[in-house]
Amino acid sequence: MLLGGAGPDAPAEILWRDPDSRVAHHTDDGYDILGGALKRDDTASDTLYFKFRVEPLSDVATEEYFAAFQLFETNAPRLAVGNAPEAWAYSAFCTAETGEDNKLPGEFNLNSARREAQGLGQFKAYELVRAGTVRTLVFQVRYIPGGDDLVTVWLDPELERGATGEGQPAKLTTRFKANGSFDEVRLRHGGGGNGWIFSDMAIATSFADFVNERFWQTWWFNLLAGLTILGGVAASVRIVEKRKFQRRLRLAEQERALERERTRIAQDLHDDLGSSLTRISLLSGLLRADKDHPEQVEAHAAKLSQAAGQTVRALEEIVWALRPGSDTLQSLVEYIAHFAQELFEGDTAQCRLDLPTDLPAVALPPEMRHNLFLIVKEALTNALKHAAARQVLVTAQVNAGHLTITVADDGQGFAATPKQAGAARNGLGNMQRRAAAMSGQLEVASSPAGTRVTVRVSLPPQRPASAGGWPA
């Protein structure tokens, strides 16, 4: 009869488990730990699997003792697995067969992968019991109605994922016959020594119930890992595509900036050089036409010289904008100094420069560099041509990521509104538009005692710029 368990075709399951540690020491017949959870009698025809872990507290070779995980039926001892009374190795007793190396009938030594040496290169098939050496034992009982049951014991079997009873090595597998009927399970110890610690005990319907499946071997972990990998790949692809897109945007912006710079240079060539060269051509024609009038020739020559000087300065500006290294803040300040010195050269007004020499290595966009220079150029030209100034001071300061350039003169001043002042006198409207294009600030203060023009802009983040500048 089959009691307390499933039929032979039922799905595998743990029928009983006791994970706690229990010490068996001088127990005589021991006491039941099963508590009536299940039982099998001589009519059973299914298969059960038993498992337990042991830690011996003394060496059986120095203190003779027996210890076992034993089945009992109506107080009668049945199959016991552990260490038989007359065997020094891991063994079984109360068996229907006797092992080849065993001396007491009903005892059977268990094969071990850690065989004991017996000299001259010979090894015994079993393993001695030693203190502190933890071993796991699993045994199978195939119940034969009305006869001896078939027992298979595995000493320290492989229990990792995918392990099976059939796949265990022969060197740790032992087979014999015994009576495996039971209604109790007792932990026993007798003789010398300090006993055994039993733990992780269970009875199941399949060997697979004892296989240790690590969390990283479960289906849900594999699914989660797969989703994580897919997510990582998708995120990586997204990041790569985003970087490619951002790189294309930067390249497109650089191309647009380059196109704007080319357009500006073409406009400068047309407006400045074109008009200057046209004026030079006209003045040259007037010189030839008035060659017989010395006074006219002298006047035309003076104007021709002035136009040539303007043409040279316009050409210098274009060359400076195109020179490698002209994109630095240092280059801008140096060119402003060069332009101011050349503009006031030979004039009664004096231009003083208070410009720093240890400027940070900041690269300026072409539009910012061009607009800053034209604002300073307009302020210097106004001071020279319209203010009747005796002193002009140009200063530059860098503070907290901002650049401030000031052009101050001690001239007669002018009204600071374009409507009140002629466009030929100041060009304040152009300076305001250029400052606004840089998101900067332009301040113009004018009085009969002089004029002060200040432009303030935020500098781009500091980064290395190409070497070079305006030659001294």
Would you state the pLDDT for residue 415? Answer: 58
* CATH superfamily assigned to domain 326-472: Histidine kinase-like ATPase, C-terminal domain (3.30.565.10)
Q: Do the first three CATH levels of 2-212 and 326-472 match, i.e. the same topology?
A: no
Helix 366-385 to helix 428-437 angle (10° resolution) is 160
pLDDT tens by residue, 140-172: 999 999 999 999 999 999 998 889 999 999 999
Domain ranges for the chain = 2-212, 214-322, 326-472
Residue (of 87, 106, 83, 71) closest to 189 by Cα position = 83
Query: Who wins on pLDDT, 406 or 268?
Result: 406
The confidence score (pLDDT) of residue 218 equals: 53
* Model confidence at 393: pLDDT above 80: yes
CATH number for the domain whose boundaries are 2-212: 2.60.120
Instruction: Return d(Cα 194, Cα 243) in angstroms, integer.
Output: 70
> Contact, 380 vs 401, CB < 8 A?
no
Whole-structure pTM value: 0.50
DSSP lists the bridge partners of residue 392 as 351, 409
Tens-place pLDDT, residues 35-77? 999 999 999 999 999 999 999 999 998 899 999 999 999 999 9
Q: How far does Cα 382 stand from its chain's mean position? A: 58
Write out pLDDT tens, residues 275-313: 677 777 777 777 677 777 777 777 777 777 777 776 777
> Which spans in 290-353 are helix H?
294-322, 329-344
